[in-house]
């Protein structure tokens, strides 16, 4: 396993930013296609739901951080409280997709002004919108790989 790659606080160019936003927007679609291609039952269902719950939690946390960035007010508390999310992969995916859609809209419609957004995300320190979106895309990729692996294991 390699060390995590440090991500700059701001993108190098508008093209890099636009590419990142496209990847951020298509994450839910790629995951839906993977779910449609497999049968999430038994142990695979448990694995898939655990992965999807992490995505939902990440999107809730991201929304809180974007709000802090947008308003300039620090977060009053740490990460959001964990909530009961159920064990239906489709419902979890829909929740993630709705949250991601709202988060995408929060940054996409504000143009390049978002490049200056930063806040403190305890215990990680300062984080920018660019870094937060980059981390969301990385989690999307890891989750997609995990879902595919779980669904392949269910077919065996």
Residue ranges of the domains in the chain? 14-155
Contacts of residue 12, Cβ cutoff 8 Å, sequence gap at least 6: none
Alpha-carbon 25 to chain mean position: 10
pLDDT at residue 121, rounded to an integer: 80
Q: How far apart are CA 52 and CA 66, in angstroms?
A: 21
From residue 58, give the alpha-carbon distance in Å to each of 15, 63, 65, 76, 153. 25, 9, 10, 18, 26
Q: Which of 55, 63, 65 is nearest to 124 (CA)?
A: 65
Ranges under pLDDT 70 in the chain = 1-5, 76-84, 154-156
Contacts of residue 31, Cβ cutoff 8 Å, sequence gap at least 6: 55, 93, 96, 140, 143, 144, 147
The correct answer on CATH 3.40.50.720 for the domain covering 14-155 is no
pLDDT at residue 33, rounded to an integer: 96
pLDDT at residue 75, rounded to an integer: 73
E strands, the chain, where? Answer: 118-121, 125-128
Q: Which of 79, 65, 42, 81 is nearest to 133 (CA)?
A: 65
């Amino acid at each position: 396993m390699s060390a995590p790659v440090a991500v700059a606080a701001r993108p190098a160019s508008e093209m890099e930013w636009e590419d990142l936003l496209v990847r951020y927007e298509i994450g839910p679609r790629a995951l839906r296609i993977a779910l449609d291609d497999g049968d999430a039952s038994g142990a695979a269902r448990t694995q898939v739901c655990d992965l999807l719950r992490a995505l939902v939690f990440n999107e809730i946390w991201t929304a809180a951080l974007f709000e802090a960035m947008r308003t300039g007010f620090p977060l009053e508390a740490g990460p959001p409280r964990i909530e009961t999310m159920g064990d239906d992969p489709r419902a979890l995916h829909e929740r993630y997709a709705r949250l991601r859609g709202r988060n995408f809209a929060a940054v996409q419609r504000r143009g390049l002004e978002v490049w200056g957004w930063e806040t403190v995300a305890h215990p990680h320190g300062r984080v920018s919108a660019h870094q937060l979106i980059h981390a969301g895309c990385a989690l999307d990729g890891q989750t997609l790989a995990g879902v595919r692996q779980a669904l392949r294991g269910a077919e065996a």
